[in-house]
Amino acid sequence: GAVVSQHPSRVICKSGTSVKIECRSLDFQATTMFWYRQFPKQSLMLMATSNEGSKATYEQGVEKDKFLINHASLTLSTLTVTSAHPEDSSFYICSAPGTPDYNEQFFGPGTRLTVL
Amino acid sequence: GQNIDQPTEMTATEGAIVQINCTYQTSGFNGLFWYQQHAGEAPTFLSYNVLDGLEEKGRFSSFLSRSKGYSYLLLKELQMQDSASYLCAGMDSNYQLIWGAGTKLIIKP
């Protein structure tokens, strides 16, 4: 099946710094990618939909100026957590639909962010 | 509103069969997904149903009834490594996934 990679897998940063997370589709093109956040023992929460060549669509309650998304190519989307704070510590996961009708989603391995 | 309901936790015995139920309400419907998620890892795709009926894939089967807004995941010949969270997700008319909170499945020897 299709492969989605994420980098880094883990990151620890100080409060106030910015962290960039990359999501790549390795063997297919993804005009759309999804960014999720998952807190411990909770389900995935969709943060935003990343669209290649256009602005991302953010879910209600997600600050677009804090979570910057760039989808510069058909295989790469980046999420930058700006001025990170401890409450931003979470598991961030990206996914991309592997088929045009979205009936299969391929997930990246996730990035564990810890903000001290 | 949109909602996915599934049990929080289930326990089963190695070698046995377990059925995890899921009820859904979505704005429009473009399919029902089941994912497996081990602790600290991203979800792994298990199944996709968009038509009524049972889809069998090895030890795992998934069932859908669109009229009832209901699905289940059936796991047979349970193995210890099947201990994980199982996430039910409905896809709405905008092709967005609405996620359930997940069912933690505990397998005992």
More confident site: B91 or A41 = B91
Q: What value does the mean pLDDT take over residues B13-23?
A: 98
- Residue-wise pLDDT tens digits, B32-73: 999 999 988 888 889 999 999 999 999 999 999 999 999 999
pLDDT at residue B97 greater than cutoff 90: no
The string of DSSP codes covering B2-68 is -EEE--SEEEEETTS-EEEEEEEE-SS---EEEEEE-TTS--EEEEEE-SSEEEEETTEEEEEETTT
How buried is B60 (Cβ within 10 angstroms: 0-12 exposed, 13-18 middle, 19+ buried)?
middle
How buried is A45 (Cβ within 10 angstroms: 0-12 exposed, 13-18 middle, 19+ buried)?
middle
pLDDT at residue A102 greater than cutoff 70: no
Give how far A105 is from chain B: nearest CA, Å. 7
Contact B99 A105 (CB under 8 A): no
What H or E segment, with its residue span, contains residue A4?
strand A4-7
Using pLDDT thresholds of 50, 70 and 90, give the confidence band for residue A39: confident
Residue A42 touches partner B, C-beta closer than 8 Å: yes
- C-alpha A72/C-alpha A7 separation (Å) is 16
- C-alpha A67/C-alpha A24 separation (Å) is 18
Give how far A13 is from chain B: nearest CA, Å. 19
Give how far A16 is from chain B: nearest CA, Å. 25
pLDDT at residue A98 greater than cutoff 80: no
What's the pLDDT at A4? 92
CB A69 within 8 A of CB A48: yes
Q: What value does the mean pLDDT take over residues B7-13?
A: 97
Using pLDDT thresholds of 50, 70 and 90, give the confidence band for residue B81: very high
What's the pLDDT at B23? 97
Angle (CA) A66-A70-A76 rounded to 5° is 135
What's the pLDDT at B42? 85
Residue A7 touches partner B, C-beta closer than 8 Å: no
Q: Nearest chain B Cα to A97, which residue?
A: B95
Q: What value does the mean pLDDT take over residues A55-77?
A: 93
pLDDT at residue A43 greater than cutoff 90: no
